Amino acid sequence: MEFQVEQNYGDGCKGYVYFKTVGVRPQQDLLERLAIKAMKDDWDKINSELYFSTPKPARPTVQVAEYKDGKKVKKGIRFKCKWR
């Protein structure tokens, strides 16, 4: 299963991070940990030395949705969690 994590940077600016799970439908607490890990890994990739000022991180609450074939799955798994 593939999941999409929607990041909100404010002013209508959004970003997306994706992660996959293997096997049957995982529990929500496992999905939350995987979403938080994906967000932290994405944020750790940013090299602040390349910018004039330090970039601001995405808002603390992210939306996670089940994702398949380029679209969110209708009636699929969806939830919000805090990554920082």
DSSP string, 51-65: SSSPPPPPPSEEEEE
Stated pTM of the model: 0.85
| Euclidean distance between CA atoms 28 and 42, whole angstroms | 21
- Helix and strand counts by DSSP (H, E) for the chain: 1, 5
pLDDT digits (tens, 9 = 90+) for 5-45: 999 998 899 999 999 998 877 888 999 999 999 999 999 98
In angstroms, what CA-CA distances link 21 with 13, 31, 72? 27, 8, 16
